[in-house]
Amino acid sequence: MKLRLKLLSAFLMMAIMLIAAGIWSINGFKLLEVSVQGILDENYRSILASQKMVEAVEREDSAILLLMQGYWERGRYQLMQSDSVFNEAFQIARGNITIEGEAELLNTIQQHYQAYKDIWERPIVDTDREGNWIWYEQSAHRAFQVLKNDLKGLAGMNEDSMYETASNLETMAERSIMPGIVAIIATFILTSMFAYFVSALIVSPILRMTDRVRAFREGGDLNKLDIHTHDEIGDLADEIRLLAKHHSRKGQV
């Protein structure tokens, strides 16, 4: 193989290794970014939905207190408005199930909310419930607390998932930078090999030819030039030997 082809092959091998490692690293970081961002977005949507549902049931609890004081119009309006907010947020959470056990908890929340809604849908103003704080504590407020705890559990579940994702981010990042580390190691190895081959195939033969030419000039023999490669260096050595023979013949004449 010609010397230029050997050098070109070495350069091409290094370039291919670096390009492959670069593409691998870029794809790894892109996948990492997409997966982590997707998980965080999904958890964040569920957390926001949980917070909206908590705010909605808290307003419903306040509306019940208004009804118990005889404010029928204000209380009913606030209940209907809060119910709409709760259902909208619940549908967001229902369509964003990503964690094991989240679907079961949402079913429980739906059941408990319906039980709570059954309580405040029944008339309160102008009934024995109006001003009945014992009924409120034992029925309405107790159902409210059960539902609120469920909603906090839903938010906590997604917060734990976000924390776990953040904790795993370091490991995922380490996996993504592995191609870069491989590229650095491969580049070091290939550079060392390239330097060795340049020294063995180019520098050392040239130095030997320089020494033999110097020795020939001082009366030595170029036939002892032991370079027989099939490349430009070998061609140069052959030309030097031929030149030496031609010079010797002229000297004999």
Report the alpha-carbon distance of residue 88 to residue 86 in Å, rounded. 5
Q: What single-letter amino acid sits at 116?
A: Y
Tokens of 39: 């998980």
Report the alpha-carbon distance of residue 173 to residue 33 in Å, rounded. 10
pLDDT of res. 84: 95
Query: Pseudo-torsion of CA 38, 42, 45, 51, nearest 10°?
Result: -140
pLDDT tens digits for range 6-55: 667 767 777 777 777 667 666 666 665 555 555 567 778 888 899 999 99
Percent of the chain at pLDDT > 70 equals 72
Q: pLDDT band at residue 130, thresholds of 50, 70 and 90?
A: confident
Report the alpha-carbon distance of residue 221 to residue 106 in Å, rounded. 95
Q: Are 19 and 78 in contact (CB under 8 A)?
A: no
E strands within the chain?
A: none
pLDDT tens digits for range 178-225: 766 776 777 778 777 777 777 777 778 778 778 777 777 777 665 666
Contacts 24+ apart (CB under 8 A), 33-38: 35/172, 36/165, 36/169, 36/172
CATH of domain 19-177: 1.20.120
Tell me if the pTM is above 0.85: no
228 DSSP 8-state letter: -
Report the alpha-carbon distance of residue 91 to residue 127 in Å, rounded. 34
